[in-house]
Amino acid sequence: MKHYSDIILAPVITEKSMAARQGNVYTFKVVKSATKEDIKRAVEQAFNVKVENVNTLNTKSKKRRVGRYSGRTKTYKKAMVTLASGSSIEI
């Protein structure tokens, strides 16, 4: 079994993810090879909470320009974790 720090890379801090916290949904950037069961186990182990549901998606890269140079942003896997009522995470 992998350590939880090998699966969870970072929390996603955006306006949309902060608004979702009101409904006990927390968003994390995770390793691309992680399954929903791996993510559930890692969050429960890292924060000592009960996870009800895990939704995942692979983000697409976007075009970005800096001056005359153009490129693309990196892609990553994002996990939206719903916690049981009464549970919360301090990030």
Residue 91 has pLDDT above 80, yes or no: no
Q: Is residue 13 part of a domain?
A: yes
* Range of the structural domain that residue 46 is part of: 4-63+71-83
Residue 39 has pLDDT above 80, yes or no: yes
- CATH no. for residue 8? 3.30.70.330
Domains in the chain, number? 1
Q: Is residue 88 part of a domain?
A: no
Q: Is residue 91 part of a domain?
A: no
Q: Is residue 89 part of a domain?
A: no
Residue 1 has pLDDT above 90, yes or no: no
- Cα 66 to Cα 72, 73, 74, distances in angstroms: 11, 12, 15
What proportion of the chain, given as a percentage, has pLDDT over 70? Answer: 99
Q: Is residue 42 part of a domain?
A: yes
| pLDDT of res. 86 | 86
- Cα 18 to Cα 38: distance, rounded to the nearest angstrom: 23
- Cα 15 to Cα 28, 30, 63, distances in angstroms: 14, 19, 21
